[in-house]
Homo-oligomer: A and B are copies of this chain.
Amino acid sequence: MIKNLDEKAARKVLKEQRIGHLGCVLESGEPYIVPVNYLFKDDGIYVHSLPGQKLDALRVNGKICLQTEKIEKSCQWQSAIAFGEFQEVKRMNKKIEILKEFSARFERLTPVEAMIEEQWNLGGLVVFRLNIKRISGMAES
């Protein structure tokens, strides 16, 4: 049976997962989707990105969504989506704080602050936040 999740249950799914699909609208008016690692923190969703199509689009049209799902089996799953507005994180110490939290997840990266600061800034890595306006979800059980 498929049913709607209430806001609290959908938020829980978003908080538990780490990989999701980010949606935005291109200048052509077309929807665009890209898989991302994300961080749910301080009631917002943080994503890091290299410059490219999605950043170009988001700087023009800040409407954004992040969808994720938790699948137990094909007929037992929960899917949640957060809608909101794009906000670039420009303050360097906040940016580094977020990137450190991401880096701590990956064993192959050594989470040394200096390395992060040096490499990630050089790479032009952008950090942005989805300021959540509403959350919804669905589940089959």
Q: Which A residues have a C-beta under 8 Å from some C-beta of B?
A: 2, 21, 23-25, 29-35, 50, 61, 63-65, 67, 69, 74-75, 79, 81, 83, 106, 108
Contacts and interface: CB of A to CB of B under 8 A. Distances in A.
Q: How many copies of the polypeptide does the oligomer hold?
A: 2
A94 to B, nearest CB: 25
A30 B74 CA distance: 28
Nearest to A134: B30
B33 A33 contact: yes
B35 A79 contact: yes
A31 B33 CA distance: 9
Given A24-B31, A31-B31, 10 more contacts: A23-B32, A25-B25, A25-B31, A30-B65, A30-B83, A31-B65, A33-B65, A35-B69, A35-B79, A75-B108
